[in-house]
Amino acid sequence: MKILGIDTSGKIASVAITDGDRLLWEKSVYTRLTHSQVILPMVKQALEETELDFSSIDCVAVANGPGSYTGLRIGIGAVKGMCMGEPHLKCAGISTLLSLAYNCQSFEGKIITVMRARPKIVYFSVFKCENGKIFRLCEDKVCGEEEILRSVGSGERIMLVGDCAAEIKAEYFDGDVNVLAANPANVLQRASSLCLAAEEDPSLIKTADKLEVSYLQATKAEKDKAHR
């Protein structure tokens, strides 16, 4: 399959195109602009530079959360629009935490994905990687940082990945040689990892009307309504 990946779940705007096990194109930008300003021009650039068009793409993989409320809505909305304009296009909503695990697909051991939700609270999940295969060990959740400590066994090889990986490493595992933080090239979201996840698990591929955002916690509007 040729898969177009789009990630707008955090401060990184990322677009990639893969063809099976080949990465044809990828660009990730740490941007101060809103994702609505940069993501579609990046998609256009990706298609032009690979000499492809939407008729050549089989599936669009998009981060569906957790992450930035606004960023997720922009990405999901863009993909739904693409699929409406190209009825043959399928899409895959990929957990942001799962896609981060695919950043570390060459690591052998346990992968803990962590993204900052608010002070001392993280979006969190745990995976195992064996021979390049990613296996989920728990569902995505929003929880206190102490949950991470309960997921680390004595002497286990651990890779931390996500926007607060270095912070968690320094705070709780400083000096522990078995617990690593992903390198700067792989610690944040990458659209190519969305493509990898969709390629590995075709059950994630659906029609656009089934594409939804998974925030894991109430949005500000929902919180405000609950306190009225």
Domain residue extents for the chain: 2-96+190-226, 97-181
- Asked if residue 216 lies in contact with residue 123, where contact means CB atoms within 8 angstroms, the answer is yes
Q: What is the pLDDT of residues 172-209, one digit of tens each?
A: 999 999 999 999 999 999 999 999 999 999 999 999 99
Please tell me if the domain spanning 2-96+190-226 has the same topology as the one spanning 97-181.
Answer: yes
- The phi and psi torsions of 227 (rounded to 5 degrees) equal -95, 5
Residues lower than pLDDT 50 in the chain:
221-222, 224-227
Fold of 97-181: Nucleotidyltransferase; domain 5 (3.30.420)
36, two tokens: 């609505």
Q: Please, what sign has the CA dihedral across residues 90, 95, 97, 98?
A: negative
Look at residue 164 in the predicted model and tell me its pLDDT: 97
| CB-based contacts of 36-43 (< 8 A; 24+ apart in sequence) | 36/74, 38/13, 39/6, 39/8, 39/13, 39/15, 39/74, 39/75, 39/78, 40/78, 42/13, 42/15, 43/4, 43/6, 43/15, 43/78
Whether domain 2-96+190-226 has CATH 3.30.420.40: yes
Look at residue 219 in the predicted model and tell me its pLDDT: 58
Instruction: Share the mean pLDDT of the chain.
Output: 94
Supply the pTM of this predicted model.
0.94
Q: What is the pLDDT of residues 199-226, one digit of tens each?
A: 999 999 999 999 999 999 875 544 544 4
DSSP letter, residue 11: S
